[in-house]
Amino acid sequence: MNFSPKTLKIAVPTLVLFLLTAGFTFAQNVITGTVKDSKGQTLPGASVIIRGTKQGASTDKAGQFSLKATVQPPFYIRISSVGFKPQDFQILNLQTAPTEFVLVDDSQLQEIVVVSRRRKEIAQDVPIPISVIGGAQIDQTGGFNVNRIKELIPSVQLYTSNPRNTGINIRGIGSPFGLTNDGLDPGVGFYVDGVYYARPAAATLDFIDVENIEVLRGPQGTLFGKNTSAGAINITTRKASFTPGVSLESSFGNYGYLQTKASVTGPLSKTFALRLSFSGTQRDGLIQNTKTQVPVNDINNIGGRAQLLFQPSDKLTVTLSGDVSNQNPNGYAQVVAGVAPTLRAGYRQFNNIITSLGYTLPSTNAFDRVIDSDAPWRSGNQLGGITLNADFKIGSGTLTSTTAWRYWDWKPSSDRDFTGLPVLTKSQNPSKQHQISEEVRYAGNLADKLSGVIGVYYLNQEVTVNGREEAGAAQWRFAQSTTNTALWQTPGLFEGYGITTNSSLKSQSAAIFANVDWTLGDAFHIIPGVRYNYDKKDVYYNRTADGGIAITDPTLLGFRTALYSSQFYATTFDEKNFTYQVTASYRPNKRINAFATYSTSYKPSGVNVAGLPVISGAPALDLAVIKPEKTQHYEIGAKTNLAENLTFNITFHNSDISDYQTNVQSPDPGVNRGYLATAEKVNVKGFEFDANYLAGRNFSFFVSGAYTDAKYIKFTNAPLPLEETGLTVGGTQVFFKDISGSQLPGVSKWTTSAGGEFATDAKFISDNSKFFVGVDDYFRSRFSSSPTPSAYLNIAGYTLVNARLGFRATRGISAYVWGRNVFNQNYYEQLLPATGNAGQYAGVLGDQRTVGITLRYVL
């Protein structure tokens, strides 16, 4: 049998994890108990197993059991019985008296526990719009990164034309749509185990050992971490355990899809435990490059995580963890999706340009999925870090310290003209980022009827760019702006000419925050929160135009500098800001939890570190720094349990934003990644709902949806849409227009997600197995893919349907087949104009139908 290097990278770590399970030895103890249902009735014949071992017992006629254990506390036992949910119970110490264990009926909805307010709470009890996706749901729906998870939470939008150009929005706000500028702070916080990831590229990493994902909607900042204006995604991973456990999973699918995940955990001693996890994913390319005959947009990811747990007592828990992820695809190529006529002269229209050069596109249908790019598409994306977390139980609360160091290394290459012509032969702007963060907070009961969180946060990061972009031999025809001279065709005029960019952004953020929950009577809560921010940024941007043949002719020099020009600026500034929020909640009984919130939020000033547009021959230095963004937000909502097996939640929200920070395209090729602009006023309002229903023991259903109306209330200095490139008024070229009243990009009016599952006991396989079949779908209505609305850059609404069928077990073997986009819907995720705005625009294509099988073994 032959193994490829990719396969070996996945197989070897899996073998290592298997071998690491061999060294755990234990002494013997005895645990006794009684198993009951929620009504107090004893459950004969219930199965009791010590997790990670083969030792188990069954309850007798009185529901009692006695079990010898070969592990030292703390450890977990799993109790299961027909008609009840299998449950894990932690044994902290051994008692001589029998312990009582209560199982939840299988026909009841399971209560979801969240930690969004830095303490464990039932999600329905928390007066915050929050969505939770469990690790099991992530695994079963084939979601291996955040880009997949957006299909389960309609309020979340994630756009990625490559890892660097990744933006996460909640309710349509958070990050500028389209391209990313390192000089802007994300408006949606992305956290893993309490650590804030400053760069959105981290959102493309593969999930490794995810326990659950919490999505908080609305401004956040009085509870933890970095101030965020639109919400937060809080990912919690599975922790190291003193109970041995092994999980192995492999998935196989069409297009050469192969994914392997493995994890092992167990004690090293009475006070130390270890968890090692690994994930590897590979898939063939989905787009064919007819020039190289090599498929592009493949997947080639590998990553791992290690956790060392130190728990000398129930008062202290210390976790040291490290992770690394390496994504090295031949990927993120975009396909020409269409050509828009512009207001430039006929000879400057894209179709006339390529005709004069004797070139033809390989296809005029983007969903033929073919390109002929002559520049490589590379998206090397490495990231990782180390975290030290310590929890000290003090009084009736917990003091937590989270110290982290992280890095990001981005190594790209792209073909920004999207064609096989040598227009731009090099477009490489690699970035490196590293960050240090510290958070210290105390959460718990502060007094009778008063609980809350108080903490401090600090983040220091630096982003550096050392890039190069060069023009090719065909650039003259795209740059040509006159027809009265043949000098445009001077051999070598543009070939090899380009820009070398060196830039750095150093930023520091610090904050003090507090949030308290004050109980009035039995049903009313007042929850105020405050935050004081300090932000500082040091920026250095130096871009030099050079290369190509030596010329002295002033006309030729003018042609060149109109294409690329040198730019330099440096600035330092700091800002202070106070934000706050107050929530009132009323819970008269277990059936309803009503709440109302008013909050303010803040994003620090943005700094352009990707080139400025040239207007009247000079860079627009007034766009180098843009104002801070300020938000006033309110929402009202209710979380209800209309029946034992039915929850229904609804929220109405409104955000008024001043000096909204956005990132826009320019016809100037020297604006490498778009430039920053400010919309004077933006309003986002709408409502969201979600419902879960469990029909008996076999059927479960969910539905969620969002209606969002996001508008520029005032945006008087917006860029021109693609089709108005070249607009002149009174003989003077115009670069901006007033688009007040138009819709924000990337926001659908309606987005929904719904699904259902049938599950039944599969005792013919094993006692704890269930056969299941499930279907879910995701719908979003039409949306604009341009910061300034364009008739050519709108994306039609679409529906994606996913399905799965198989059997699963809490222990032992699970197997199921799955399909994503089962009806093979063709759809765009983004439409992007090419550099220079000659009229052609490209599409980021959604994946076609993928099918496969997943095998999982849990010990």
DSSP secondary structure, 640-694, as one string = EEEETTEEEEEEEEEEEEEEEEEEE--S-TT-BTBEEEEEEEEEEEEEEEEEEEE
**Is the pLDDT assigned to residue 672 strictly greater than 60?**
no
Buried b (16+ CB within 10 A) or exposed e, 317-348: bbbbbebebbbbbbbbbbbbbbbbebebeeeb
pLDDT for 164 equals: 81
Given this model, what pLDDT does residue 673 score?
52
* pLDDT tier for residue 416 given thresholds of 50, 70 and 90: confident
pLDDT-above-90 percentage for the chain: 53
Give the separation between CA 267 and CA 475, rounded to whole angstroms.
Answer: 63
Predicted confidence (pLDDT) at residue 4 exceeds the cutoff of 90: no
H-assigned helices in 26-128: none
Report pLDDT digits (tens) over 584-603.
999 998 889 999 999 999 99
- Which pLDDT score is estimated for 668? 57
Q: What is the per-residue pLDDT for 432?
A: 94
How does residue 8 score in pLDDT terms, banded at 50, 70 and 90?
Answer: very low
Query: Is it the case that residue 104 has pLDDT exceeding 80?
Result: no
Report the pLDDT value the prediction gives residue 715, as an integer from 0 to 100: 94
CA separation for the pair 175, 188 (Å, rounded): 7
In this prediction, residues 446-452 reach a mean pLDDT of: 86
H/E stretch holding 13: helix 5-19
Residue 710's identity, in one-letter code, is A
Distance CA 34, CA 51 (A): 18
- pLDDT score for 47: 83
- The answer to whether 429 and 467 have CB atoms below 8 angstroms apart is yes
Predicted pLDDT at 18: 40
Torsion angles phi and psi, residue 222, rounded to 5? -95, 0
Which tens digit of pLDDT belongs to each residue from 739-772? 999 999 999 999 999 999 999 988 777 666 889 9
User: What is the rounded CA–CA span in Å between residue 52 and residue 75?
Assistant: 9
Backbone angles phi and psi of 88, in degrees to 5? -100, 135
With a cut of 80, say whether residue 286 has pLDDT above it. yes
Angle, CA of 628, 632 and 635, to the nearest 5°:
145
pLDDT at 82: 65
In sequence order, the 6+-apart residues with CB closer than 8 A to the CB of 519 are 449, 450, 525
Query: What's the CA gap between 721 and 742, in Å, rounded?
Result: 12
86 half-sphere exposure, CB direction, 13 A CA radius: 18
Q: What is the pLDDT of residues 177-219, one digit of tens each?
A: 766 778 888 889 889 999 999 887 766 667 778 888 888 898 8
The bridge status of strand 370-371 relative to strand 299-313 is: unpaired
pLDDT at 1: 41
Q: pLDDT digit string (tens) for 230-250?
A: 998 888 899 998 888 899 999
pLDDT tens per residue across span 490-513: 999 999 999 999 999 999 999 999
What integer pLDDT is reported at residue 39 of this predicted model?
72
- Per residue in 292-312, pLDDT (tens digit) is 999 999 999 999 999 999 999
Separation CA 66–CA 77 (nearest Å): 12
Phi first, then psi: give them for residue 723, nearest 5 degrees: -70, -10
Residue located via tokens 């199965």: 47
Q: What is the DSSP letter of 173?
A: B
| pLDDT of residue 669 exceeding 60 | no
CA 431-325-818 angle, to 5 degrees, is 120
pLDDT at 109: 59
Model confidence at 19, in pLDDT bands (50, 70, 90)? very low
Q: Letter for the amino acid at 186?
A: P
In this structure, the number of other CB atoms found within 10 A of the CB of residue 4 comes to 10
Work out the pLDDT band at 119, boundaries 50, 70, 90. low
Q: Which of 281-290, 429-438, 529-538, 832-841 has the least mean pLDDT?
A: 832-841
Give the mean pLDDT of 472-491. 93
HSE toward the beta carbon, residue 826, CA cutoff 13 A: 7
Strands 299-313 and 316-327: antiparallel
For residues 354-367, average pLDDT? 96
- Residue 553: which residues within 8 A CB-CB, separation 6 or more? 487
Task: Give pLDDT tens digits for 70-96.
Answer: 777 777 788 887 667 778 787 877 777
> Among candidates 298, 139, 360, 151, which has minimal Cα distance to 815?
139
SS3 106: coil
According to the model, what pLDDT value does residue 17 have?
A: 43
Rg, Å, the chain Cα set: 29
Q: Extract the tokens encoding 391.
A: 């929890």
Q: Mean pLDDT over residues 108-120, rounded?
A: 63
Nearest to 683, CA basis, from 746, 600, 744? 744
Q: How high is the pLDDT of residue 86?
A: 74
Q: Is the pLDDT of residue 524 over 90?
A: yes
What per-residue confidence (pLDDT) applies to 159? Answer: 84
pLDDT tens per residue across span 710-742:
999 999 988 889 999 988 898 888 888 899 999
**Which residue type occupies 453?**
V
Cα 491 off chain centre by = 47
What tokens does 387 get?
């975290």
Cα–Cα separations (whole angstroms), residue 292 to 299, 375, 751:
18, 10, 39
Higher pLDDT, 774 or 665: 774
The whole-chain average pLDDT of the chain stands at 87
Question: Which has more pLDDT, 705 or 127?
Answer: 705
Closest to 398 in 3D by CA, of 324, 316, 505: 316
> Which of left, alpha, beta for 8 (phi over 0: left; psi -120 to 50: alpha)?
alpha
Q: What are 270's two structure tokens?
A: 């009475």
